[in-house]
Structure 1
Amino acid sequence: MIKQIKRSKYLIVALLSLIMISSCVKFPQPNPGVISDIPENFDWKTVQNVNLNVQVNSVSGINDSYIRVIKVYSSPMLKDGSLLSSGAARPGTPFSVNLTLPSSLQSLYIQEILPDGSRTLIKTDITSKNISVNTAASVTKSNSNIAHNAAFTSPTVPVPANFDVVVSNNSTLNVVGFLAGESSAHGNLYKSYLIPAGVTRTANVNMGNYIGHAILYVEGTLKMTGNMSLNKASIVVLDGGSVEVGGLTCGVFEADVPVFYTEPNGSFYSSKIVNFSDGSDMVNKGTFTVNNNIDVNSSSTLFNEGDIIVPKKASGLLISNNSRLFNNGSIDVKKFDITVSASATNDLGGVIKTETYYQSNGTVVNNHNEIIATISFKTSGGGTTNNFCNISTALTDLQGSVANLYDGSLWESLNTKINMSDINLFGGSIFLTGNVESVWDMALISNSDSYSLFKCTGNIPDLRYAGSQISGRIELVHTNMAEGSGTNGRQLYEGLFTDGLALLSKTQTKNILASTCNDAAGQIVAPSPAIVDNDADGVAEALDYDDNDATVAFVSYFPSESTWGTFAFEDTWSWKGDYDMNDLVLNFRVTYYTNSSNKVSRMKFDHKILAAGSGVEIAAAFQLDNISASSISTINGQIISGTVPFAVTANGTESGVSKAVIPIFNNVRDVVTDEFGILLNTVDGIHFNTPSGAIIMQFTTPQELASVSMDSFNFFIVPYTSANVSRSKEIHLPTFMPTTKIDATLLAGDQLSSADKYKYVDGMMWGIMIPEEFNYPKEYESVGNAFLKFFSWATSGGVEYTDWYKDIEGYRNNQKIYNN
């Protein structure tokens, strides 16, 4: 019965495939015509190449000959699978690497690990193709005003070259948008008003209108005593501009720009409350001072990359009702409240300083740098605090909440109260307190393989009847602990230490290495720089990817340690097809294994076929353009059935070519063995699971990483029919050359670009690589119709919408994307 059902499914798939093939344009058209204005030199790359040079410095007590390990990440979380590259550096011998990165990526996070285990982290913007970093610039505490280093991307606001209205006096001013039928003589989308440099306006401005959206730009000075009410209007303080108001509120807002924007060196001051609401966006890159509360509510978002200051007692920054805060600057307030399902991210450059901190009602706060609460830090009602770096306060009061402390982080408190709360201590984290004032229903938990530290230097109450638990590799150090059952007596606590892992100590025994965040608060022994090195490659066992193999010390990845890239192809070269880009869709990840000299000894190509919506058979391979076939020692993991279209030699490379061509498979059906008919995973509702594979290449001698970077990773497909199994036709990505086995006559023809034979004369391509998993179009739906910013990206020459393939509101027509 099961076999009968399965056969029926295959029959349905086959029939649907035939129907789709008969209706799809899957074969050449004689005169496809020009369809777009794509720049002739557009290379169709969704990635950028960056040369990174990391200089390290001499450290007292550590010999310069010892290797420093450099790790490069795309995310500040470091442990989220965002590792891009790793390698060795010494003073005078930098770590240099050519990175292939998503074009939309804006920052890199560079970690230096010294032989003694101490670590520093530097964040650098991707502002050019050549980046040099000196680890001497690393700091444990960041200053304010480092807006351009934010990991998040703040919304932008247009600044016109010419303004619709220039304000030069105190006459009545109503900032209103265009009436129906009106437009800007200067091409501005929103009606723009400018108070220019050198002009001081002291009269009020009416910012309320119900026509079209308008924007007031202040480059000079605006001083008004009344409240500024923004209805269909935005205020932008330009570089050098200054605004003073008697309060700020938001009303009706329908434009796709921030309601409030302060540029670097701009300043905004309000003597009364500032209220942002109704889903509006606010961006501060200058100085934003309010002598009252700043209230961000109703799904609004505040981006701070400058200074926010609230000097008034008992006033501060309030984030509530699904609103969000992203901070990479300085917030100095008297009160910081985050409530009712709101969230906050304090980035690597962010410092939040407050007298009182309060978090509740399903909120989440991610702290990547420093939060200082001089009076109290209180959480309740289901709030979650994720501490990746440093929190310090006079009183920690956890009520019905969760605190997660990650490796290298420190939470320091003079006094602590814990009630119905969980503290999850990841290995290498520290919770340091003076007195523990009260405890009930506390869960102190670690699931890590290494120890964390909970240390009390004052008093801890009796925990025998506190309904609490301590489990996992946690060392609780109570420096005032005495024997017996009296005050601070061991017997008051030892009943919680029963799992054989958690430790109760008077004197700390587990060493927590110093980090840029933990102030060396748990380091009791400075690690000896003498290293255990089993394979004698100069890299310490703890830092060596494989300390039993001298040819492998580090790993690097594309796109990253945990993410996948995608190759997507049309099979109709050298004529146009339907451009659904699903004739072959293949996920991949490239791993580079390097030795202590940062040379590649081994490569791995992980792959998984997602779709094959082709009316012909497809084979796939890649050529390492800078590597000869004889430089490959062995290849394992290929799925090569037969000798056509690819035949391989003893070392696994293709026969008859001098460069290293590595066949992956001769036919999709050799990999996906289910009878999927003609179309694989391109018709909605019909889906076949496909297996993953991995090809491992060993080099005869280690190669320079630059020689095997993604710039020279030449992936291609060979389409053929079962009646004519030919190797002569290859489809490559633009900018890549065919192998020597192509039929050169196929490169002729006026329909192909003279500069790049893998682009049509109008600039279109047949293959593309995307640096993440691609939700490809369904059968017969073109990529331009499925991804609404695709042609804007292409016609801009790759400048605009570099993230066109992402799942962002307004970027996709999901009805045209394959859904299994």
Structure 2
Amino acid sequence: MNPRLIYRWVLYAAAFVLMTTSCTKDLSLKEVIPDEIKGMSDLQVAPDFNFKTTLQITLKVISKDFTGLPATKIEVFNANPNSGGQLIKTGITNRDQVFETLLILPAHLNQFFIRRTTFNQHVETVTLDIQSENIEYTFSASKSANVFKSTFLGPGCTDCATSIAYALTGKYSLPKDSKVCILVGASFTGELDLNGGTLVVCGSLNLTSLKGKGTVIINNGGFFQAISLNIYDKESAFINYSDAFILSSTFALSGVFENYGTISLSSLNINANGQFKNYGTVTLSGDLNNSNYCFNEGNLTVGANVSHNAGEITNACRLTVNGTLSINSTFKNSSYVNVKTDLNFNKGPLYLSNQSLIETKNFTVNSSIVAEGDAYSKISVSGISRINGGGIFSGKIDYWVENGIETNLGTMGRDIRFDNLYIPTTYCNPGSNLAGGIVIIDTDADGVADEFDAYSTDGSKAFNNFFPSAESWGTLAFEDLWPYLGDFDFNDMILDYQINQITNASDKVVEIGIALKVRAIGAAFKNGFGIQLPIVSSAIYNVSGDFSYTQGIINLNDNNTEQNQSQAVVVFFDNAFKLLPHPGVSTGVNTTPGATFVNPKIINFTIKLSYPIAPEILGEPPYNPFIFVNEIRGREVHLKNHAPTSLATTQNFGTGADISSITSGITYQTEKGLPWGINMVEPFDYPIEKAAIIDAYTYFADWALSAGTSNTDWYKKIDGYRNVNLIY
């Protein structure tokens, strides 16, 4: 590891001075000026820094424009939900159209996303910058159909390996696997070879031909023009954020194309490997031919015909076809489709949802139409309707034919209606029979519409709130030699967690789902694991799950919490080796390179609460986690400055390298402020056996010395951030 030069830093906080005067040992850090940091023993960390990788934000969302109307659904994502962003919080507004909640986010984030869905399926997504611990946002007016166009910004022309700053013509090949930017005011005209790299256009790109695999990004304010565009490589991507995108001839797509801006095309052929995704505005003067995947969450207008030959078309906003729409494969509509002439449904199925609407002049049906959900969707035909023998209607469909069904040889399900029902107006959908009024279905009468409710038949539950998210895990990493110093490889117990705080309509927690994944044991001790919650044991109705008790040291109450505890404690297992058996060689399990790998073990638990509890009271998941060492129940190891349970052996505090002073809140840390456990809000690639974390991760020391204010992404998989030879 390269030595790090650490500059002078001074701690002036009066609160810290008061805190240290009550400690049993002198913790004052008046001035620390180490010349070089070579190992963990050289670190001097602030005693009140808990090695947290998270930040807490109080969020308030106001749906001002829906005052007096039914509640709106609010979802929070850690990134752009249309580019892999993960859902981390869900709830609804109250009678004042206000939603307030506590968010726990990775400390390295600079922004997050909120999405509002109204009772009439009006969907808006906005980006919020993280500038304080209290963030408020007001939805004041309905947006246009192109919500994402004004919300999402391109990456800009920064961090470029090469920049084009002038007018360049001819042939240009990107340096292999590199990022090249055309700066504002600059341009390239000619033949482009991507060569595995990425081209970001903030100026102008006038393309005569394109070859090679790679990515092209037209940034906001950038300009793109070509006669034709052929993307033949399935691993290539073309992403547009601009309103100046002009293509005068055919667009042939075998890779990925995403649009967040405004595009004018002649015609579009989506080939067998092509993926076309629109979140902005696309206007075609000619035909659209699809043979793989077409997704629309913006405004897509086709001047001529649409031939859907294979794959899937999903419409989540507004699709207008001025000619004929021919469907020969899966078609999904959750919003609005308007066909000016003929809709020929030859082969499907055709799925309808979310009070969607299809309007067409003539309609011929030869396959299955399926409506999903409890609210009616509608097909409105102003001209001729022909339902042939293969035509099957099922689910809640209102089939409205102004002049009556001319031919009906098909099958109509029992829920089919012919009543010209009301379909609400949204920013995508103009609605139908608007005099029909507002209909809200709430089966369990909890105040949450069924379309928003994850538990529509259980009035006590409404929303899932996964931490860190439904798609990811956090990681707990422990050293087990407390109160003595170990090797700081933080792999004596590696345990991933995923926690679901199930809330009711009032954003109170009623149930906690806990999934644990035992990944590694870098120790010889038989260690157990549990959590302490900041509530009394009686606040828990019952705990169930995959408990593993084999050592005879755990005593339980009737609700499966641990006995003789002042706060609720749940012990999940008392010997990790029973879940992750030793392979017979090396020290521990899954910490020594080359040793036999043992598949991680996942265990699941459910904590049902006796009454709803506010998330702020429960605190940040995974609450107060701890291990207990080598079959000694009282020898607990918690995260830094977390309280021990009532069963912890107090004689160990202040011995060895530990300087705990429980009455002052200083616990589980060394004289230099180092911990025996850390909590990672994202999956953690832990060090191999005997490799200290400071050697495995380049910026761990900088992060720790700054008390978590700098290098907050130190654990990410980024070039230069880690020594891969020291990570398992």
TM-score range, shorter chain: 0.7 to 0.9
Q: Find the aligned partners of 1:341 and 1:782 in 2 and give their Cα distance.
A: 47
Q: Find the aligned partners of 1:385 and 1:378 in 2 and give their Cα distance.
A: 10
Q: Find the aligned partners of 1:775 and 1:271 in 2 and give their Cα distance.
A: 42
Alignment partner of 1:234 is 2:163:
yes
Give 3-state SS (helix, strand or coil) of 1:268's partner.
coil
- Opposite residue 501 of structure 2, the aligned amino acid is Y
Q: Which deviates more from structure 2 when the two are superposed, residues 360-369 or residues 604-613?
A: 360-369
Of 42, 46, 51, the match for 1:44: 51
Change in Cα spacing, 1:801 to 1:144, as seen in structure 2 (3 Å) is same
Alignment partner of 1:358 is 2:268:
yes
Of 377, 388, 391, the match for 1:494: 388
Of 155, 158, 164, the match for 1:156: 158
Alignment partner of 1:635 is 2:543:
yes
Question: Gapped runs of 5+ residues in structure 2?
Answer: 1-37, 403-417
Change in Cα spacing, 1:472 to 1:105, as seen in structure 2 (3 Å) is farther
Residues 51 and 640, structure 2, Cα contact 8 Å, conserved in 1: yes
Give 3-state SS (helix, strand or coil) of 1:444's partner.
coil
Residues 733 and 768, structure 1, Cα contact 8 Å, conserved in 2: yes
Residues 532 and 624, structure 2, Cα contact 8 Å, conserved in 1: yes
How far apart are 1:105 and its partner, in Å? 4.2
Instruction: Report the TM-score, using the length of structure 2 for normalisation.
Output: 0.76
How far apart are 1:469 and its partner, in Å? 5.0
Q: Find the aligned partners of 2:221 and 2:305 in 1 and give their Cα distance.
A: 26
Alignment partner of 1:607 is 2:516:
yes
1:444-523 aligned at under 5 Å gives the runs: 444-446=348-350, 455-457=359-361, 470=368, 472-473=370-371, 477=379, 479-482=381-384, 490=386, 494-498=388-392, 506=401, 518-520=428-430, 523=432
Q: Find the aligned partners of 1:327 and 1:39 in 2 and give their Cα distance.
A: 46
Alignment partner of 1:386 is 2:295:
yes
- Opposite residue 260 of structure 1, the aligned amino acid is C
**What is aligned with 1:563?**
472
Change in Cα spacing, 1:513 to 1:298, as seen in structure 2 (3 Å) is farther
Deviations 1:535-572 (A, max 9, x none): 44323344333344443233322112343222222223
Q: Find the aligned partners of 2:695 and 2:79 in 1 and give their Cα distance.
A: 32
Residues 325 and 343, structure 2, Cα contact 8 Å, conserved in 1: yes
Of 390, 404, 425, the match for 2:332: 425
Residues 325 and 339, structure 2, Cα contact 8 Å, conserved in 1: no
Question: Gapped runs of 5+ residues in structure 1?
Answer: 1-31, 159-212, 214-232, 237-243, 483-488
Give 3-state SS (helix, strand or coil) of 2:222's partner.
strand
Of 453, 461, 482, the match for 1:552: 461
**What is aligned with 1:730?**
636
Give 3-state SS (helix, strand or coil) of 2:389's partner.
helix
Of 88, 96, 103, the match for 1:99: 103
- Opposite residue 277 of structure 2, the aligned amino acid is N
- Opposite residue 74 of structure 1, the aligned amino acid is N
Alignment partner of 1:667 is 2:575:
yes
Of 198, 202, 215, the match for 1:281: 198
**What is aligned with 2:181?**
260
Q: Find the aligned partners of 1:527 and 1:609 in 2 and give their Cα distance.
A: 55
Give 3-state SS (helix, strand or coil) of 2:140's partner.
helix
Residues 369 and 389, structure 1, Cα contact 8 Å, conserved in 2: yes
Residues 64 and 139, structure 2, Cα contact 8 Å, conserved in 1: yes
Q: Find the aligned partners of 2:506 and 2:378 in 1 and give their Cα distance.
A: 42
**What is aligned with 2:604?**
694
Q: Which deviates more from structure 2 when the two are superposed, residues 386-395 or residues 690-699?
A: 690-699
Change in Cα spacing, 1:269 to 1:397, as seen in structure 2 (3 Å) is farther
Q: Find the aligned partners of 1:113 and 1:274 in 2 and give their Cα distance.
A: 44
Instruction: Report the TM-score, using the length of structure 1 for normalisation.
Output: 0.69
1:18-57 aligned at under 5 Å gives the runs: 34=40, 40=46, 43-57=50-64
Alignment partner of 1:73 is 2:77:
yes
Deviations 1:489-518 (A, max 9, x none): 62xx51331586798763576979657563
Residues 116 and 526, structure 1, Cα contact 8 Å, conserved in 2: no
Q: Find the aligned partners of 1:361 and 1:116 in 2 and give their Cα distance.
A: 35
Deviations 1:421-480 (A, max 9, x none): 634315x244432234989xx6432467878665432576xx8xxxx8555449894725
Q: Find the aligned partners of 1:512 and 1:805 in 2 and give their Cα distance.
A: 53
Give 3-state SS (helix, strand or coil) of 2:616's partner.
helix
Q: Find the aligned partners of 1:518 and 1:320 in 2 and give their Cα distance.
A: 32
Q: Find the aligned partners of 1:618 and 1:124 in 2 and give their Cα distance.
A: 43
- Opposite residue 541 of structure 2, the aligned amino acid is S
Of 206, 209, 213, the match for 1:299: 213
Change in Cα spacing, 1:300 to 1:580, as seen in structure 2 (3 Å) is same
**What is aligned with 1:202?**
none
Q: Percent identity?
A: 22
Q: Find the aligned partners of 1:79 and 1:255 in 2 and give their Cα distance.
A: 22
1:365-404 aligned at under 5 Å gives the runs: 365=275, 367=277, 369-376=279-286, 378-379=288-289, 382-398=291-307, 402-404=311-313
Change in Cα spacing, 1:82 to 1:711, as seen in structure 2 (3 Å) is closer
- Opposite residue 424 of structure 1, the aligned amino acid is F
How far apart are 1:99 and its partner, in Å? 0.9
Residues 390 and 517, structure 1, Cα contact 8 Å, conserved in 2: no
C-alpha RMSD of matched pairs (Å):
4.4
Change in Cα spacing, 1:293 to 1:603, as seen in structure 2 (3 Å) is same
Q: Find the aligned partners of 1:327 and 1:318 in 2 and give their Cα distance.
A: 15
How far apart are 1:667 and its partner, in Å? 2.1
1:575-724 aligned at under 5 Å gives the runs: 575-625=484-534, 627-637=535-545, 639=547, 641=549, 645-669=553-577, 671=579, 679-682=588-591, 684=594, 686-689=596-599, 691-710=601-620, 713-720=623-630
Residues 734 and 759, structure 1, Cα contact 8 Å, conserved in 2: yes
Residues 792 and 801, structure 1, Cα contact 8 Å, conserved in 2: yes
Give 3-state SS (helix, strand or coil) of 1:395's partner.
coil
Change in Cα spacing, 1:540 to 1:362, as seen in structure 2 (3 Å) is closer
Alignment partner of 1:90 is 2:94:
yes
Residues 120 and 515, structure 1, Cα contact 8 Å, conserved in 2: no
